[in-house]
Amino acid sequence: MDFQFTPEQVKFRQEVRDFLKKEQPKDFHWPWWFEGVLGNDEMWAISKQMARKMGAKGWLSLTWPKEYGGLEKGHIELLIFTEEIAYHRAPGVDIFGIKMLSPVLLAFGNDEQKKKYLPPIGRGEMFWAQGFSEPNAGSDLASLQTRAIEQDSFYLVNGQKVWTTGAHRADAIFFLARTDTQVAKHKGISFFLVDAQTPGIEVRPLINLTGSHSFNEIFFENVKVPKENLVGGKNNGWLMATALLNFERSGIGYVGACRRNLEEIVALTRNNKALAGNPVFTHKLGELAAEIEVGRWLGYRIAWMQSKKMNVDAQASMAKVFATELMHRIDNTGMQVAGLYGQLAEGDKRVPLGGRLGESYMSNLGRTIAAGASEIQRNIIAQRGLGLPRD
């Protein structure tokens, strides 16, 4: 059976490609993933420009209702856009605002919240950070200890978040906080929005393995969050958190990046006579190419399921664990192809592919941890996909 895109969808894919060919700077060293943009002032400025251009075309709000600035397109159009953006390593898409928060607001937010936040996100004018993980609450997210105590017109928030990607660039933060300590830990959590410039919020940098500043710690000290910034009702945050994580884990972005990375590694192999005919490397590259197609079809199936309003809990975890571990296998193979020169830094004339191989090898291992570690994804697949009991 041959699955085909409609003529309109094929035309849209070409429109995105033509746009990127015209608008994306050619002589700029783009990182292999989103976080690299956050650590560079020049890249971040260009990313903001690209966001506004994409927003003007309605591409950042493809599936939204028109009343909030959307185009009311389907999930397949969103898949096409996401795949092309990831493959071309294009800046401009705030994954926190576009991919994570927006669908949560559409599903759980009230009219005032939707009207206030969705239009600037869709125009590429407002950027977000995600305040979920804490020093002692990562894979067991429900153990979070940040407190939000209800007052007359606001919640008083105290606590700490960690690994907060892009907090130093963000205009606002969506976060989880405990609003009830007398119930089961999953049931006492609420979902909030807050302006990043609110008094009492302190952002401290965390430099990652590549030397880039993409991660941060956030400290909340007596931060006053207006009650109108509570999304979905008090103590309902776990429902929104799990929905958001499904949006984060699903999609085709990881696989689109894998495809581009593998293509460059294959080209590097062709230029090395010792490797081009070596069956160890050719078999490995062939295996990776097959795995990319598997990951691609997983992403396509999820988009189809979402278009039918089907539950994608287990499938999102399948796609996430498969694609992020595939990224690391591709990086590992790339470093073997590059040899010792692959360890050299950007700027050294001997380093292959501008130093991206080594950078990707170090940073993409974290993909197997972010958005839920691979072990957690396998638990979800076993429990929600196979119906097995919890440990």
Same domain, 364 and 319: yes
pLDDT digit string (tens) for 217-271?
Answer: 999 999 999 999 999 999 999 999 999 988 887 778 889 999 999 999 999 998 8
Same domain, 135 and 85: no
Locate 42 and state its tokens.
């020049």
Same domain, 216 and 270: no
In this predicted structure, what is the pLDDT of residue 2? 67
98 inside domain: no
The rounded distance, in Å, linking the Cα atoms of 135 and 199 is 22
28 inside domain: yes
The rounded distance, in Å, linking the Cα atoms of 196 and 229 is 13
Is the pLDDT assigned to residue 31 strictly greater than 70? no
Q: CATH number for the domain including 320?
A: 1.20.140.10
Q: CATH number for the domain including 170?
A: 2.40.110.10
Q: Looking at residues 20-42, what average pLDDT do you find?
A: 78
Which stretch, 110-119, 135-144, 336-345, 349-358, has highest mean pLDDT? Answer: 110-119
327 inside domain: yes
Read off the DSSP letter of residue 229.
G
Tell me the residue range of the domain where 36 lies. 7-93
Count Cα neighbours of 138 within 13 Å in the Cβ-side half-sphere: 12
The rounded distance, in Å, linking the Cα atoms of 126 and 118 is 9
CB 251 within 8 A of CB 84: no
Same domain, 221 and 258: no
Locate 244 and state its tokens.
């958001």
Question: For residue 20, what is the enclosing H or E element?
Answer: helix 7-23
Locate 219 and state its tokens.
């400290």
242 inside domain: no
What is the secondary structure of 118-146 as a DSSP string? HHHHHTT---EEEE--BTTBSSSGGG---
Neighbours of 27 (CB within 10 A): 4
In this predicted structure, what is the pLDDT of residue 28? 65
User: Which of the four pLDDT bands, split at 50, 70 and 90, describes residue 196?
Assistant: very high
Residues 6+ apart with CB under 8 A from 116: none
245 inside domain: no
The rounded distance, in Å, linking the Cα atoms of 375 and 321 is 9
Q: Looking at residues 298-307, what average pLDDT do you find?
A: 90
Same domain, 288 and 375: yes
Same domain, 159 and 254: no
pTM as predicted: 0.92
Same domain, 176 and 228: yes
Q: 């070409």: which residue's tokens?
A: 14
Same domain, 152 and 39: no
In this predicted structure, what is the pLDDT of residue 35? 67
Q: CATH number for the domain including 87?
A: 1.10.540.10
Boundary-marking domain end, from 93, 110, 142: 93
3-state class (DSSP) for residue 339 = helix
Of 187, 179, 173, 174, give the one whose Cα is nearest residue 147.
179
The rounded distance, in Å, linking the Cα atoms of 352 and 342 is 6
Of 171, 145, 173, give the one whose Cα is nearest residue 159.
145
145 inside domain: yes
The rounded distance, in Å, linking the Cα atoms of 239 and 151 is 23
Number of domains in the chain: 3
The rounded distance, in Å, linking the Cα atoms of 76 and 62 is 10
Locate 93 and state its tokens.
């898409």
Q: 């499938």: which residue's tokens?
A: 315
The rounded distance, in Å, linking the Cα atoms of 126 and 318 is 31
Same domain, 360 and 254: yes
| C-alpha to C-alpha distances, 86 to 36, 90, 323, nearest whole angstrom | 13, 7, 13
Q: Which residues are catalytic?
A: 248
pLDDT digit string (tens) for 98-118?
Answer: 999 999 999 999 999 999 999
The rounded distance, in Å, linking the Cα atoms of 284 and 279 is 8
| C-alpha to C-alpha distances, 193 to 23, 173, 379, nearest whole angstrom | 32, 6, 30
Same domain, 218 and 161: yes
Query: What is the average pLDDT score of the chain?
Result: 92
Boundary-marking domain end, from 204, 237, 270: 237
Neighbours of 179 (CB within 10 A): 22
Q: What are phi and psi of 100, to 5 degrees?
A: -105, -60
Q: Looking at residues 37-44, what average pLDDT do you find?
A: 88
Same domain, 256 and 357: yes
In this predicted structure, what is the pLDDT of residue 34? 65
Of 83, 370, 82, give the one whose Cα is nearest residue 249.
370
In this predicted structure, what is the pLDDT of residue 8? 97
Boundary-marking domain end, from 36, 70, 93: 93
107 inside domain: no
Same domain, 380 and 277: yes
165 inside domain: yes
In this predicted structure, what is the pLDDT of residue 354? 83
The rounded distance, in Å, linking the Cα atoms of 14 and 9 is 9
